[in-house]
């Protein structure tokens, strides 16, 4: 991880000493969120001498080695290699869990919706059963803005809003699974007293994103890096906030420290931009300077969101002290640089 990104994660006040003499499990450790959380925990342990034990759960030893390198040689860092859809076996006590595992690629919603659904539902069940058996202090869950469904509200969506999801569509595998996963956390708190918190994120960019997962911004970046023209398959008027991954992870640690047992919207409000303007920004940063934005023929069977999202009200997480720091220009620039 870049030192710049660590500085962003550590910029806002977090009580890192809450992790003194604890064991922390990070699921989805090689994903774009999990890798940042694990590396930040390692850095906190070194900075503050926390005597922390850090466990990463990942499916592939090879990918873990490529992502973490020398970090894996640290005596306080261990890995469990398995699918989160299987019961989790971990030795010793566990105090905190950051649950980030689960497919989030739009192409998976289209091509393997059943596997996508069960990865989130079974994964959450296995995490919560582990939390129950280990008497975990708190579980953090990375949810999504998609749980809000088709937003009909005027203005910004706060955390109490809930719109309709077209559940008789295979693409609903993702938002409906995320909704039930949130409900599962509430149920385990009521019945077993397990404290939880989490965030609902909009698009989050940075090192570690996939350029082939079907997201529009990923396709734009892939085209620009290859010197191809960017093809817009819509009118490009939909507006989204784009958050730099280090800003998002900083919010997660603040929520784990100071948040109530609830979910918080996490999005960089200042980074609102239309799909059309985003395409133009990405094209302007093409290394070849040969990328233009051209009109396509429509979305066809592409797995994009079937509706427009309203903007997210982030006043709740800001009341905890979170302030995103990275502009939309730097978010795109640094993400592209991570591939160069």
pLDDT level of residue 64 (50, 70, 90 thresholds): very high
Q: Residue 188 pLDDT > 70, yes or no?
A: yes
144-169 confidence digits (pLDDT tens): 999 998 877 666 889 998 888 888 88
Find all residues with CB under 8 Å of 54, minimum gap 6, and list them.
23, 24, 26, 38, 41, 42, 45, 76, 77, 78
**Structure-derived torsion over alpha carbons of residues 339, 59, 108, 225, reported in degrees to the nearest 10:** 10
Quote the pLDDT of residue 298. 62
The C-alpha angle 297, 298, 299, rounded to 5 degrees, equals 135
Q: Identify the bridge partners of residue 77 per DSSP, sorted by sequence position.
A: 54
Digit-coded pLDDT (tens) for 108-127: 999 999 999 999 999 999 99
Domain presence at residue 216 = no
Residues paired with residue 114 on neighbouring β-strands, in sequence order: none
Q: Classify residue 54: in a domain, yes or no.
A: yes
Question: What percent of the chain shows pLDDT beyond 90?
Answer: 74
* Number of domains into which the chain is organized: 1
Q: C-alpha angle with apex 282: 281 to 283, nearest 5 degrees?
A: 90
User: Does a structural domain hold residue 331?
Assistant: no
Handedness of CA 152, 259, 204, 10 (dihedral sign): positive
CATH number at residue 13: 3.40.50.720
Note whether residue 217 is domain-resident. Answer: no
* Residue 295 binned pLDDT confidence (cut-offs 50, 70, 90): confident
75 is a domain residue: yes
Owning domain of residue 157: 3-206+242-270+310-325
Is 121 among the domain residues?
Answer: yes
Asked, for residue 65, whether it belongs to a domain, the answer is: yes
Confirm whether 40 is domain-assigned. Answer: yes
CA 9 to chain centre: 14
pLDDT given for residue 305 in this prediction? 62
Exposed/middle/buried for 160, CB within 10 Å: 0-12, 13-18, 19+?
A: exposed
**Rounded to whole angstroms, how far apart are CA atoms 128 and 144?**
19
Question: How far is Cα 301 from Cα 168, in angstroms, rounded to an integer?
Answer: 16
Q: Which helix (H) or strand (E) holds 142?
A: strand 138-144
Q: What pLDDT score does 163 carry?
A: 82
The mean of the pLDDT values for the chain is: 92
Task: Give dist(CA 336, CA 220) in Å, integer.
Answer: 10
Task: Give the C-alpha separation, 80 to 62, whole Å.
Answer: 13
Tens of pLDDT, residue by residue over 65-96, are 999 999 999 999 999 999 999 999 999 999 99
Instruction: Kindly tell me if the per-residue pLDDT of 268 is higher than 70.
Output: yes
Strands 239-244 and 272-274: antiparallel
Q: How far apart are CA 338 and CA 36, in angstroms?
A: 14
Instruction: Give the C-alpha separation, 251 to 13, whole Å.
Output: 10
């Amino acid at each position: 991880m870049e030192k710049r990104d660590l500085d962003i994660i550590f910029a806002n006040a977090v009580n890192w000493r809450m992790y003194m003499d604890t064991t922390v499990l990070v699921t989805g450790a090689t994903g774009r969120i999990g890798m940042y959380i694990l590396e930040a925990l390692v850095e906190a342990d070194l900075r503050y001498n926390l005597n922390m034990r850090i466990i990463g759960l990942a499916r592939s030893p090879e990918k873990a080695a490529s992502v973490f390198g020398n970090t894996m040689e640290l005596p306080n860092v261990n890995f469990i290699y398995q699918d989160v859809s299987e019961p989790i076996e971990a030795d010793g006590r566990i105090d905190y869990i950051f649950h980030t595992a689960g497919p989030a690629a739009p192409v998976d919603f289209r091509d393997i919706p059943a596997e996508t659904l069960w990865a989130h539902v079974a994964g959450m069940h296995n995490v919560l059963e582990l939390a129950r058996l280990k008497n975990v202090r708190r579980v953090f869950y990375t949810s999504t803005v998609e749980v809000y469904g088709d937003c009909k509200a005027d203005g910004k969506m706060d955390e109490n809003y809930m719109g309709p999801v077209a559940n008789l569509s295979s693409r609903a595998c993702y938002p409906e699974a995320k909704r039930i996963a949130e409900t599962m956390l509430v149920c385990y708190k009521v019945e077993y007293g397990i404290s939880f918190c989490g965030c609902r994120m909009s698009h989050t960019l940075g090192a570690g994103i996939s350029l082939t997962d079907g997201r529009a911004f990923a396709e734009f970046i892939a085209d620009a890096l290859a010197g191809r023209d960017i093809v817009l398959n819509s009118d490009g008027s939909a507006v989204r906030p784009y958050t730099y991954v280090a800003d998002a992870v900083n919010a997660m640690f603040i929520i784990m420290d100071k948040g109530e047992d609830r979910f918080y919207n996490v999005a960089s409000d200042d980074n609102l931009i239309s799909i059309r303007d985003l395409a133009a920004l990405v094209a302007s940063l093409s290394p070849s300077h040969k990328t233009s934005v051209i009109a396509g023929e429509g979305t066809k069977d592409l797995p994009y969101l079937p509706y427009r999202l309203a903007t997210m009200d982030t006043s709740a997480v800001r009341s905890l002290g979170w302030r995103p720091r990275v502009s939309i220009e730097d978010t795109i620039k640094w993400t592209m640089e991570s591939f160069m």
